[in-house]
Structure 1
């Protein structure tokens, strides 16, 4: 990988870590509202499938090793096996799929939004809900009502934000010459 790619990946890890601090709990669900999905989508739209997989894997590894990078400053294995841990693990699958699907056509807002809303978020919701259902021993329908439905409108807005940011960053980086003297 080139220095430019590694730099983009490092910035995505840092922003993903910071975005987890932009969070607040809802009284009726163990899942917190965070800005993580914005950064997962931005990272997925800017990086290749391999790059975003490595980025999310390193982010999860940091959290597992005790760095406070999960929602609300959480970390450790206990956080991953918690009811909302499945949503974090879902990022590992959804992010490369979003990246792969967005690369199929030219860069545009409509495509970015479609891929994040109709492909990425359903993957995250499905894996996260199944995980939560197993961990909490709730039925899948009850889990969907508690951990997915309350978040759909907000996550759609986050996908709009992510698609807008990614498109602008994509245009900015494609028009800017990067210093490549070390490559």
Structure 2
């Protein structure tokens, strides 16, 4: 019985007004950043600023809240709000060639959040974002691209991975800078 009360207290401490506001701001950041996107002619994937917002979310929120916030973003888009890259929404996006990215994001962000550590550190954030976040993001997208487009591994990587690597590394580093500044600001309050 004591552990149930302790678990309830921990959950209550996790879902504070401050944390709920942070989650809402992170979801809003994801929604707005998704509109900053452009297509590449040889792939159904879009280059998007959303990956910056997702990484910032993972590096600012605790792991449980990260998963909930990113899953809420995906759910909002899945029910039809036009908040996915390209200004679209709906279940069709989740079952299309890029659907694996959307489905994988809550899990990728959870892993990033778990690996970020407790100290505010640009180096740690950058390492986690580049070494864990970028490659893990490609896994879901590659699988869905191969399955839906009926292509092999090399063709799938040519459409879902290779063209995006340089930009995604730069976006991961930018997200680490933003997250470090936000976390330092929040720590000084």
Please, what TM-score do these two structures have when normalized by structure 1?
A: 0.93
- Aligned residues, how many? 175
1:29 and 1:131 mapped to 2: Cα distance? 13
Q: Which position in structure 1 is the counterpart of 2:175?
A: 162
Structure 1 stretches of at least 4 aligned residues deviating more than 6 Å after TM superposition: none
Q: Which position in structure 2 is the counterpart of 1:146?
A: 159
Q: Which position in structure 2 is the counterpart of 1:20?
A: 34
Structure having greater relative contact order (Cα 8 Å, sep ≥ 6): 1
Supply the RMSD in Å over aligned alpha carbons. 0.9
Q: Which position in structure 2 is the counterpart of 1:98?
A: 112
1:1-183 aligned at under 5 Å gives the runs 1-103=15-117, 106-176=119-189
In structure 2, stretches of 5+ residues that fail to align are 1-14
Following superposition, the deviation at residue 139 of structure 1 comes to 0.5
Please, what TM-score do these two structures have when normalized by structure 2?
A: 0.90
In structure 1, stretches of 5+ residues that fail to align are 177-183
Following superposition, the deviation at residue 106 of structure 1 comes to 2.4
2:64 and 2:28 mapped to 1: Cα distance? 18
1:61 and 1:168 mapped to 2: Cα distance? 29
